[in-house]
Amino acid sequence: MTTILFNPDVTDEERRARLYSGQVLVYDASPASLALVEHARDLIAEAFGPIDPQTAQHHMPVEEFAALLAELKPKFIHHPTSKERIRELLGYHGCDLDRTYFDVPRLRTSTSDDYLSAGISYAFHPHRDTWYSAPFSQLNWWIPIYPVVPENVMAFHPQYWSNPVRNGSRRYNYYEWNRASRQTAAQHIKTDTRDQPKPEEPVQLEPHVRVVPEVGGVMLFSGNQLHSTVPNTSGRTRFSIDFRTVNIDDVVSRTEAPNVDSECTGTSLRDFLRASDLERISEDVALGYEGVTAGG
């Protein structure tokens, strides 16, 4: 079963080892995380104007809401302040900025009562990020922008940490997804017809674990954790930030979580930027991750 640890007093190396073994770590809000949240709130307020973004879904046609997110989310991703705030947050948490690489931070939304659960605000089925060509040393950072409740967070399914789930990752190639599917997200309003890796057998959703961090609280977990979007019944849209990190020494040495069921091809490693100077991972390292299969 997954252990949840709050504010563990450990080094970054010890933290990574705990995450690779299936633990989930939660940290209180800090000046660095709150600065990132404030930056996100500024962009959200600019986009929504006088409307409360958490309840805007009750006052806007879903097509208009989706179009707004289609402009807001890339703006957050590519804003230079977003990367700077991530660098500050990693430094605050003791990461070596010369050895730690991060992908661009993403602004996520989960609307209530199936208002918008496809495309730009996709409600994720049970999945591992490693089904989507993520390296097994990937660590996920998740931060709520506004208060969250158990009815609008995510669920972990810890019984599957060491147990395989038959899934569609064998059909997933990261480069083909980026070429043909990623850019069409905003076009999917009612349903999402893109072929994404999903369980191909029944998944036991109970027992599950839900963590409810405070605003600006930081939750870290392995990209190999099986997790899903909780059906949002809170009446409010959940806004959160997530990004991923890898430590280059772990990438090279294959110090990582176990691969029990992923068969995808391609790799997302070229998306990661070195925290100190935003340089990308070298091509020779990325080439070694082109086709990782379960048990390999």
Task: Enumerate the domain spans of the chain.
Answer: 4-286
pLDDT of residue 193: 52
Ranges of the chain whose pLDDT falls below 50: 181-182, 184-189, 191-192, 293-296
pLDDT of residue 155: 95
pLDDT of residue 68: 96
Instruction: Please give the full DSSP string across the chain, using - where no structure is assigned.
Output: -PPEEES----HHHHHHHHHTT-EEEE---HHHHHHHHHHHHHHHHHHTTS-TTTGGGTS-HHHHHHHHHHHHHHHHH-HHHHHHHHHHHHHTT--TTTEEEPPPEEEEE-STTSS-SGGG--PPSB-GGGGT--TT-EEEEEESS---GGGSEEE-GGGSSS---BSGGG-BHHHHHHHTGGGGGG-SS---S----BSS-----S-EE--PPTT-EEEEETTS-EEEPP--SSS-EEEEEEEEEEHHHHHHT-----SS---BS-SGGG-EETTT-PBPPHHHHHTTTT--TT-
- Please state which CATH class domain 4-286 belongs to: mainly beta
pLDDT of residue 196: 85
pLDDT of residue 65: 94
| Model pTM score | 0.91
